[in-house]
Amino acid sequence: MKLPVKISQPLLLTAILFINIACQNGDPIPENIPEFITKVVLTFSPEGSGSIIKVTATDPDGGGVQDIKVDGPINLLKNNNYTLSLALINELYKPGDDDYDVTEAIKKEGEEHQFFFSFSEGAFSSPIGAGNIKDYSSAIVGSINYLDKDLEGLPIGIETSWITSNTGVSSKSFRVLLKHQPAIKSSSSTSTDGESDLDILFELNVN
Amino acid sequence: MPSLVAQDNCKLTVIGKVLDESKNPLPGATVFITELNLGKVTDQNGVYTFSDLCGGNYIFEIKFLGFESQRVSIQLIKSENLETILHEEDRILTEIVISDHRDPVEKTSTFGALSGKALEDVRGKSLGESLQSITGVTTIQSGPAIFKPVIHGVHSQRILILNNGVRQEGQQWGAEHAPEIDPFIASNLVVVKDAGALKYGTDALGGVVIVLPAELPTDQQIGGQMQVIGSSNGRAGVMSGMLEGGISKHTGWGWRIQGTAKRSGDLHTRDYNLSNTGYEELNYSASTGYHKEGKGVEFYYSHFNTTIGILRGSVVGSSEDLVNALESEPPQNTKPFSYQIDQPRQSVTHDLLKLTSHLRKGINLFHVQYGLQINNRKEFDLRRGELAAFPALGYKLYTNTIDTEWERTEGKSHIRSIGFNGMIQDNNKIDGTQNIPFIPNYVSYSVGLFWVEKFSKGLWDWEMGARYDFKYYDIVGFDYKNELYRSNLNFNNVSASVAGTFKINANSSLTTSLGSSWRPPSVSELYSLGTHQSAAAIEYGLMLDKLTNEVLVASEVKLNVEQAVKWVSTYQIHKGKFSAEISGYLNYIFNYIYLRPKGVTISTRGVFPYFRYTQSDASFLGADFSLGYAPRKNLNLMSKISLLRAKDESNDDYLIFIPSNRYEVSMRYDIPNLESWMNPYLEIREKFVSKQNRAPRVISLRQIIDAKEKGDDLLENDYQNFDFVDSPNGYFLTSLSAGISRSMGKSKMDIRVTADNLTNTAYREYTNRLRYYADDIGRNISIALKYIF
């Protein structure tokens, strides 16, 4: 009795397949990493007196173990009008590259993003209160003076307006939170909806 | 030689039927006429036919995995019909498949099997979920559709899965990665619970899962089956069909084609919908083979394809998000029922091509098998704008395996096996994820040699053996700066095991085994970097520097392989109305690799706890009990108990996600037949799962975040394991099932109705990652129809 397929044939086939599949190609292609945010710059531009205040938070190692570094507290003057502009930067790219300035992408995809802010009470006379970042359980949300809007007419928050208080504060906190809210952002969505793309705590002095 | 009574009449036919105790047919059973060296496999109706037999005395040997074999003497004078009823066994002490084929399970193993009726009861469920009905087997779950099997508390890369004889090589490096296998291909699902599976390579530290299809038919007639299952929870449907037969004029050739389609929408708990937990599956396989008198060849191809939604409310971008998600009930963004599967989701395909052949020459049996597997995994997350269309993570894994074995019958009760296993793997990232790859690309080469002796002496059956394996990794990946690195590593070690079964008397036996098995660290344990699907934690591999995250030079790092020493002993008794099986085990794993909390970091997305893969010694000590009592012929009472305690011995700490103790009682009542309505039955099952009290301490994320914002790192100098929330309370679940069969000439219809979580209890299971966000699923009523022809 002869075997329909010789034992040797699968063996040969096996050897051929082994060689074919084990062949290694060259180096893998590096990925673009457009979602990385390695640096955040807060720029407070005064309307009246005082100079422009710039505070930068830098992540030294991306997903690594080192904490982000903030180059000092936010020092604002009492009773003054400021416009806050946010710049989100991906330093894996060079200045001028499309993906270097993440702020542009956020602006373009404004319908699914919103910035939220919280701060110590008494720091600002407008907005008053403690900002619009809330805990899951709390219902009270303050307001923010948003200066920009997405295509649906909802706020984004790359540009916001602030009036510091008369009394001032020292060594208080100022938190900036960016939420990704695809198909969630609405006139009633809050800081607990969606996923955090950015969440940084700064120290704030108003004097 | 048979004494020939009517030598002139060689036109006799034996048509036989093989049934289980409740008269259900057993397809795929083998029937062997010892005197003629002639074998047949039963079709979907449990029927086999031998034609052109001469008159005489024959011994028919009837075998089916999970059942006691039977030898039937026949004096053949005229054509006959033969009905054989096989009796179920939790453990089988006899050889299982036709002698030419590899035995998937050794006599001396402690194992549990699902076949026949027990397998029918879990049809439609995934592989991991199906295996849960075996004592000592649990699952690690990620939501309602992702089940990873856990054997005696050990899982993932410490369990070897043999899919139709081939080592399953999927992407098992995530807790949310389920085995890529359609359980509908199997006529038997077997779990070997000792560490002695020496023939299949490394990694069997916890045990082996064997997915075994029925033997291919050798008859010409075409048979098959069609199964439809509908479930209320998820409004899910499953359809599975199979067709098989022989090839006319080519005796010995058989073929089978098979396919399964599944679809489920969102599942729901007692109180709310679980948005985006639907899934889809489409699988098919084809095989053909030739089997005759000591030789055979088989080709097998299978394709597995699934898309699984991940609960929308479990998506978190930061620890603050996770705090919200933990507190939110119902989960965030819960919407009404839908079949839609959005981001986050995973889509996985697995292809397997297998060629196998065997040849018997006298006392020697040679076996060669080649397998090619292509595993393709893509995970989609909620991402900014157009990026949502790209997988956040994607890998393609090619695996080539070659297994050869030379089995030599040295004497009446002594078999020696010597073999070689080779494997080449190639893992490549799918380009275009626009993320730093979580694990690197690699090529790995493995070779192994084994030597196993099996023999019987007096009342003892023994098996002992050893194997040596070598593994080499060639790695190329990207570090945290997205810069390319290269690395080479190699590992080698020895495994060994000795096992014996003692037949105490006709009713009872004692099996004991001591085995040592090892595995090299996987590439994910070595080089993982970052976060992945739904985990608000950063993970770092063993090969990354603790301060700088730089990839370490391989030659400068002292790495140990994981090595398990597992002892299992099982006492089994069947006496009249009673049956019992009691197992005790201790698995001590040296250099056990797992993620331990190591600190808290502040990134641009806020505060994150981070975990590093570390090595420490771990122990798993437990016992399984299964007791049966049949006070009347048609009434069966069953009780199962699984106890386990696991520990990190080096750090005197509890491990996370260890299954808690569980207890089950069931009662089955077989109702007498009503004309052509056959085998009606009613079964009720009550399961109690206790709270896991041996769980790591609880530190809430709020505590971690608040402390870090004040400049304190709660984990920095205290590496004890922790969990974000307390382990959930214990729970009771009731399930009810009823079934009936109707025969219609040659074909047969089975109807089965099952209600799981009958009382619609709201509960959470400690080993289900869904517990952080939502309750487990509520009542589910399913109806299954099976048509066999």
Please answer yes or no on whether B297 and A22 come within 8 Å at the CB atom.
Answer: no
Query: In this structure, are residues B594 and B566 in contact, taking their beta carbons and an 8 Å threshold?
Result: no
Rg (C-alpha) for chain A, rounded Å, is 26
In the prediction, which pLDDT does B159 show? 92
Question: Domain residues of chain A, as ranges?
Answer: 39-206
Interface of A with B in 11-70 (CB under 8 A): 11, 13-14, 17-18, 21-22, 24, 27-35, 37-38, 40, 57, 59, 61-68
pLDDT greater than 50 at residue B28: yes
Q: Inter-chain contact A67–B601, Cβ cutoff 8 Å?
A: yes
* Helix-, strand-, coil-residue percentages of chain B, each rounded to 5: 10, 55, 35
The reply to whether residue A33 touches residue B436, judged by beta carbons under 8 angstroms, is yes
* Cβ pair A33:B387 closer than 8 A: no
What is the DSSP secondary-structure string of B684-753? Answer: EEEEEE----S--EE--HHHHHHHHHTT--TTTT----EESSPPPPPEEEEEEEEEEEEEETTEEEEEEE
Residue pair A70/B418 in contact by the 8 Å Cβ criterion: no
Q: Are B628 and B668 in contact (CB under 8 A)?
A: no
Dist. CA B519–CA B525, nearest whole Å:
12
Per-residue pLDDT tens digits for B592-638: 999 888 888 888 888 888 888 999 999 999 999 999 999 988 899 99
Q: Which of A33, A38, A112 sits opposite B435 (nearest CB)?
A: A33
190-209 of B, contacting A, C-beta below 8 A:
none
State whether A18 and B601 contact (CB < 8 Å).
no
- Find out whether the peptide bond into A155 is cis, omega within 30 degrees of 0: no
Q: Which pLDDT score, from 0 to 100, does residue A137 have? A: 65
> Between chains, do A196 and B321 touch, taking CB under 8 Å as contact?
yes
Task: Tell me how far CA of residue B432 lies from CA of A149, B429, B441, in angstroms.
Answer: 31, 9, 14
Q: What value does the mean pLDDT take over residues B176-202?
A: 86
Instruction: Please answer yes or no on whether A17 and B370 come within 8 Å at the CB atom.
Output: yes
User: Could you report the predicted ipTM of this complex, rounded to two decimals?
Assistant: 0.81
Q: Quick one: closest CA in A to B432, which residue?
A: A31
Query: How confident is the model over B157-167, as pLDDT tens digits?
Result: 899 999 998 99
> Residues near B371 by Cβ (< 8 Å), separated by ≥ 6?
B166, B167, B352, B353, B354, B355, B399, B400, B401, B402, B403
When scoring A118, A195, A204 by the number of chain B Cβ atoms within 10 A, the one with the most, hence best to mutate, is A195
Average pLDDT of the residues in B53-68 = 81
Interface test with chain B among A65, A136, A175, A200, by most B beta carbons within 10 Å: A65
Q: Do A105 and B323 touch (CB under 8 A)?
A: no
CA distances from A23 to A17, B370, B440 (A): 10, 18, 17
Convert A35-58 to b/e letters by CB count within 10 Å (16 or more is b).
bbbbbbbbbbebeeebeebebebe
Q: How far is B425 from chain A (nearest CA, A)?
A: 7
**Could you identify the residue written with the tokens 């597992």?**
B566
Residue B29 pLDDT level (bands cut at 50, 70, 90) = confident
Mean pLDDT (whole number) for B741-745: 84
User: A163 in contact with B at a CB cutoff of 8 Å?
Assistant: no
pLDDT band at B119 (very low <50, low <70, confident <90, very high): confident
Chain B residues 699-718 with CB within 8 Å of chain A: 709
Domains of chain B, start order = 12-85 (2.60.40.1120), 113-256+268-788 (2.40.170.20)
The verdict on a CB contact (< 8 Å) between A64 and B602 is no
Q: What is the pTM of this model?
A: 0.86
Q: What is the mean pLDDT of residues B168-178?
A: 85
